[in-house]
Structure 1
Amino acid sequence: MRSRIAAIAAACAFAVVISASPAFAHPGNSAGSGHPGHHPSPVTEVASQLITPLKVAFGPKGSFLVAESFAGRLTSISSKGVKTTVVNAPGQEIAGVSYKDGSTYYFNNDMGTGPEPGGQLLPARLMKIDHHGNTRQMADLSIFEAANNPDGNTVYGVRDASADCLAQAPYLQQTGEVFSHPYSSAPVENGVYVGDAGANAILYVSNTGKVRLVKALPAEPITIDASVVAVASNMGMVIPDCMLGLQYYAQAVPTDVEVDGSWLYYTVLPGVPGESLGMGKAYRTNLHSGTTQLLAQGLAAPTGIAVDRNDNVYVAQLMGDGVSVIKKGKVTNVLPAVMASDVAISGSTLAALTNALAETGGSLITKGLR
């Protein structure tokens, strides 16, 4: 039971597109229930009719950079909502946009064909546009994946079933395949941290293009119960009774990365059945010691993470109720929205992408932080 961002997007679109319109206020209105006597910050729609907007970053001169991923387009949006196409690559996936010190970073990923586009090793390019407007390729992550395959020895699926039991459903055990799908990026002074949703790993690409492994994400255990059996059944897969109660080790798919000080924050969407059952998690890893801490769990397809100046952590939940803040392991909604695909923070402003997979197009919205 594999998990791919494209497959997740398709499932989410099917499940949520019939929902009500996005739950955010128009300019000048307030959103959120708040508390008696407390007036929530207003939420402003900066731009709409965006095609699969899956990643957002604060850009130069008060602008925003949005990856309209499946449209193959990187768009700059002014504070007044004026759109300018920065990259136009029909047939490609444009993903993981980020910005730092005058340079824009994004991924130009080749899209495969067939029932699961991208399910093979194809070029996955980390691109950089400098402050002069010059574009260059920093690295092709698929080359690193072909040579290293960080999760190649990881056993996904059921590990503890007897031979006779596993023989009834051999498709419920596999090792990590050779596949690269860089999906999120976080630039720092001398390079870029990358969340590779195909490799199930976090990588670092230096400014000279050298790629190294930061962390291969361990599989996420999920107990096989009736809800897991139901998810499998809906996919046309049968889980034999002998596997009930055992652990299913799902692929730990990194969906976003953010660096704040010496900590690298990231969201994980456990592969099928994890995304359907609200089993997403948020972590942080110390870049010096390697210590990893679980920040929150039980998230509904977390696909965006951001940290504010007070070290509060925010997550966007694609299949959840919008954008939430994490404090001491407690997750509290701060921006009700449908299909919130990403969140970014600069100073006292939060930017989010909502309604990201709707047929009518997604929106870029902002909200002031108090």
Structure 2
Amino acid sequence: MRKQIAAIAAACAVAMIMSAGPALAHPNASNGARGNSSHSTPTPVTEVASQLISPLKVAFGSNGSFLVAESFVGQLNSYSAQGVKTSLVNAPGQEIAGVSYLDGITYYFDNDQGTGPEPGGELLPARLMSLDQQGTTRQITDLSVFEANNDPDGATVYGVRDASAECLAQAPYLQATGELFSHPYSSAPVRGGVYVGDAGANAILHVSNTGNVELVKALPAEAITIDASVVAVAAQVGMVVPDCMLGLKYYAQPVPTDIEINGQWLYYTVLPGVPGESLGAGKAYRMNVNSGTTQLLAQGLAAPTGIAVDKTNNVYVAQLLGDGVSVIKNGQVSNVLPAALASDVEVGGSTLAALTNSLAETGGSLVTTGLRNGR
């Protein structure tokens, strides 16, 4: 069993095909805030740019600009507040991902793409790049080298762990260890380096400015109870779940989809691999980078792929298969920006920027809205 949700964007496209309607919160979710349909009255929304091709990550750039990774076409573009486009990176055939910005430096990933039918089939170069204001590009490190030497989840057992030998023999594809695969997808720069969410390694890493890579956290597998909804999802991807596994836990791959640094806290979203991405089993966490203490902020999220934090520590999440961008505040989750296919969210000052309709055939949009006091 390889990671069928290894490449986040490809995985979410699969999830959309499997989902005939809005994603449902998984009935076994507990502890922490849950995703819900409550709404705040939205402020006016401005569409900065439209017809973007697979816009999956956004960051605030210099002079009021927005940096957008249009991943499937290998582009990194800057958009002014008036929507004027400037091409920064154009690399057809590559995946450009995880754009972020700090002190005049733009960071992004330049990931090689495999030729096989399934992501994760081979270990390919996954480069963390920097781009300065003079247009000079530098490769900081190739994260696939760290994966080859360390493989943080290589010993983790995914799938069904507690089935009897006779039961597992009926569906051996429902258990495997982590594959050797690097897919850096999100970044958060700080003084001296960059935190990286590696969606292939299922880990959060820190890369120094000189390219030294250290493991910050190997994410634990996400447990999902096998019930009728799990069986139905498995059937849709051609997998049979035997009756003897009903009621057992399925340990899904804990794919990190976005990270954000705010003070000593690192915030991150997790989209559990099959079957979690189509069952509304996504979660948001925060981890103290000094102590390692981790707190669950919200669960029952519908494919969370973006996270941001404002100056009053309110947490925002973009739910690709949910109802847009929501805020997590005082243990409650409420919608603040209704939208379809919201792939990312960023907050700068009193402005919220989001990518919407990100996988739509008509193209995605970069939109902004103002944040009111107390939200």
Distance 2:40 2:295 in 1: 30
* Compared CA separation, residues 33 and 240, structure 1 to 2 (3 A): closer
1:98 aligns with 2:100: yes
Distance 1:170 1:51 in 2: 39
Q: Tell me what 2:365 maps to.
A: 363
Percentage of identical aligned residues: 76
Could you tell me how far 1:188 is from its partner in structure 2?
A: 0.2
Q: Tell me what 1:11 maps to.
A: 14
Could you tell me how far 1:130 is from its partner in structure 2?
A: 1.7
Q: Tell me what 1:53 maps to.
A: 55
Which of 83, 87, 90 aligns to 1:88? It is 90
Distance 1:16 1:168 in 2: 27
The answer to whether the 8 A contact 2:325-2:336 is kept is yes
After superposition, where does 1:164-313 map in structure 2 within 5 Å? 164-313=166-315
* Compared CA separation, residues 251 and 33, structure 1 to 2 (3 A): closer
Q: Deviations over 1:185-209 (max 9, x none)?
A: 0000100000000000000000000
Letter in 1 for 2:65: S
Letter in 1 for 2:211: G
Q: Tell me what 2:33 maps to.
A: none
Distance 2:246 2:321 in 1: 26
Distance 2:97 2:149 in 1: 23
The answer to whether the 8 A contact 2:39-2:336 is kept is no
The answer to whether the 8 A contact 2:231-2:241 is kept is yes
**Gap runs ≥5 in structure 2:** 23-37
> Could you tell me the TM-score, scaled by structure 1's length?
0.93
Letter in 2 for 1:215: K
2:340 partner SS: coil
**Gap runs ≥5 in structure 1:** 20-31
Could you tell me how far 1:329 is from its partner in structure 2?
A: 2.6
1:319 aligns with 2:311: no
Figure out how many residues of one structure are paired with residues of the other and give that number. Answer: 354
Could you tell me how far 1:10 is from its partner in structure 2?
A: 2.2
1:314 partner SS: strand
1:129 aligns with 2:131: yes
Q: Deviations over 1:21-52 (max 9, x none)?
A: xxxxxxxxxxx9756xxxx4210000000000
> Could you tell me the TM-score, scaled by structure 2's length?
0.92
The answer to whether the 8 A contact 2:323-2:335 is kept is yes
Letter in 1 for 2:12: A
1:231 partner SS: helix
Structure with the larger RCO, 1 or 2 (CA within 8 Å, 6+ apart)? 2
Distance 1:244 1:50 in 2: 43
Distance 2:180 2:207 in 1: 19
Letter in 1 for 2:10: A
Which of 326, 333, 336 aligns to 1:334? It is 336
2:47 partner SS: strand
Between 126-135 and 66-75, the greater mean CA deviation after superposition? 126-135
What is the Cα-based RMSD across aligned positions, in Å?
1.6
Could you tell me how far 1:92 is from its partner in structure 2?
A: 0.2
Q: Deviations over 1:196-239 (max 9, x none)?
A: 00000000000000000000000000000000000001111101
Could you tell me how far 1:16 is from its partner in structure 2?
A: 7.7
